[in-house]
Amino acid sequence: MSDLMKEYIDEAEKDLLHTYNRYQVVLDKGDGVYLYDINGKKYLDFVSGIAVFALGYNNKEYNDALKAQIDKVIHTSNYYYNVPAIEAAKKLKKVSGMDRVFFTNSGAEAIEGALKAARKYAFLKDGKNDHEIIAMNHSFHGRTFGALSVTGNPKYREPFEPMIGNIKFADMNDLDSVKALVNDKTCAIILETVQGEGGIYPATKEFLEGIRAICDEKDILLILDEIQCGMGRTGYMYAWQKYGVKPDIMTTAKALGCGVPVGAFMMTEKVGQNSLVAGDHGTTYGGNPLACAAISKVLDLYEKQHILENVNSVAPYLEEKLDELVDKYDFIETRRGSGLMQGLVFNKPVGEYINKALENGLILINAGANIIRFVPSLVISKENVDEMIAILDKVLG
């Protein structure tokens, strides 16, 4: 490592709260699917800021749209209307099929809003304050108290107990485990359509359909967290569209702003008309003109650059190449995932391999101790896949 990089890292470790074990690199700039560190070393990026930079770095049209909005106005307030937010909401409704949008600053805040909307919906029905929410084991929904409360990993929750209360955990893809928890107090069932941090587990069609049926029968709200698996990653704009199981409330973030910190929770008109009203929820920054100019341009560019088509053409090739690694190395157990959201499951920790890949100019990340996760930009080509596999194969060997 260069002296300059070591200096920066030492400074960071003195000044930033140590809540991450960071990889030993200081990144400086990006271009397409590549990142460069402060010494100019080039890295092929198969993380994209954890499923954020879908359009690739330094996209000129995207950058120009942000610059133009900066020169107009960056922030006003949610007490006034602004054109970028109006346009972004209309475009987001179109691609999601949802009816009402609330913009947030992050994924966790989108989850908070979704949980509040679900509780309010139930409260308006029976006036009670004892409603329960069913979440999934191994889920991840964010680090704020509400989001943490529905996150199915006791390690993340334990030091911060008590949580918000009345949350129960079922097992993903085990409908009976959900049925066993449903009662008259249940107001919502929340899950990721494809679990991300918890190990890249896609929901099965039967499971999602079964949950939808329970929700319909009992007027329970289905909340789908599409923060990581959404925005085209599975080859559909939102992963639930592949299953044809529509949620009552959904969350989106990560690639929504392609780098500008934004999220949103959205709902059907039924929930919109029977949950949060003026005074119930708010945010200073959420949906500000800069953030919404980003969303609006991102959604335009998804169409213009045929992002879904690219995912659907490259993803099967990535799967094929990853499967070859599963066959070749007996310490790799399996591959699972959907579209450009894939995991290679090892029978041992993957940290060393990820560090080695970084040394060799390839950025990868784990999802749990034993899984390497692949969540690249959605503009990657088959050649990029070949380039990634060549480095990974070398590192594994």
Q: Which helix (H) or strand (E) holds 155?
A: helix 154-157
Q: Which residue has the tokens 């690249």?
A: 376
The length of the chain, given as a count of residues: 397
Closest separation in Å from C-beta 255 to ligand PLP: 11
Q: Does 227 bind ligand PLP (CB under 6 A)?
A: yes
Based on the shown chain and the rule CB under 6 A, indicate whether residue 30 belongs to the binding site for ligand PLP.
no
Among 353, 351, 356, 389, smallest CA distance to 368 is for 351
Report the residue number, 211 or 332, with the smaller CB distance to ligand PLP: 211
Choose the stretch contacting ligand PLP; rule: CB under 6 A; options: 61-69, 223-231, 370-378, 387-395: 223-231
Bridge-based pairing state of the strands 42-45 and 362-363: parallel
Distance separating the N- and C-terminal Cα atoms of the chain: 24
Candidates 106-114, 238-246, 322-330, 361-369; binding stretch for ligand PLP (CB under 6 A): 106-114
Q: Is 250 a binder of ligand PLP (CB under 6 A)?
A: no
373 binds ligand PLP (CB under 6 A): no
DSSP 220: P
Angle between helices 83-96 and 289-304 (to 10 degrees): 40
Q: Residue 143 or 185: which CB sits closer to ligand PLP? A: 143
List 37, 45, 225, 248, residue binding ligand PLP (CB under 6 A): 225
Q: Does 108 bind ligand PLP (CB under 6 A)?
A: yes
Binding flag, residue 342, ligand PLP (CB under 6 A)? no
Query: Which residue type, as a one-letter code, is found at position 311?
Result: V
Interaction between residue 100 and ligand PLP (CB under 6 A): no
- The CA distance from 232 to 313, in Å, is 13
Q: For CA atoms 2, 19, 104, 76, give the dihedral sign.
A: negative
d(CA 58, CA 215): 43
List binders of ligand PLP among 196-215 (CB under 6 A). Answer: 196-197
d(CA 289, CA 353): 42
Query: Closest approach of Cβ 194 to ligand PLP, in Å?
Result: 9
CA distance 62 to 32: 12
Using CB under 6 A as the criterion, what x/- string covers residues 110-149 for binding ligand PLP?
Answer: -x----------------------------xxx-------
Q: Shortest approach of ligand PLP to residue 389 CB, angstroms?
A: 25
Query: Of these, 48, 96, 186, 228, which contacts ligand PLP (CB under 6 A)?
Result: 228
DSSP 3-state of 263:
strand
Among 37, 45, 132, 192, binds ligand PLP (CB under 6 A): 192
Which tokens hold the place of 375? Answer: 């969540």
Q: Tell the smallest beta-carbon distance from residue 268 to ligand PLP (Å).
A: 20
CA distance 146 to 139: 13
Cβ distance to ligand PLP smaller for residue 142 or 286? 142
* Residues near ligand PLP, by CB under 6 A: 106-108, 111, 140-142, 192, 196-197, 225, 227-228, 253-254, 263
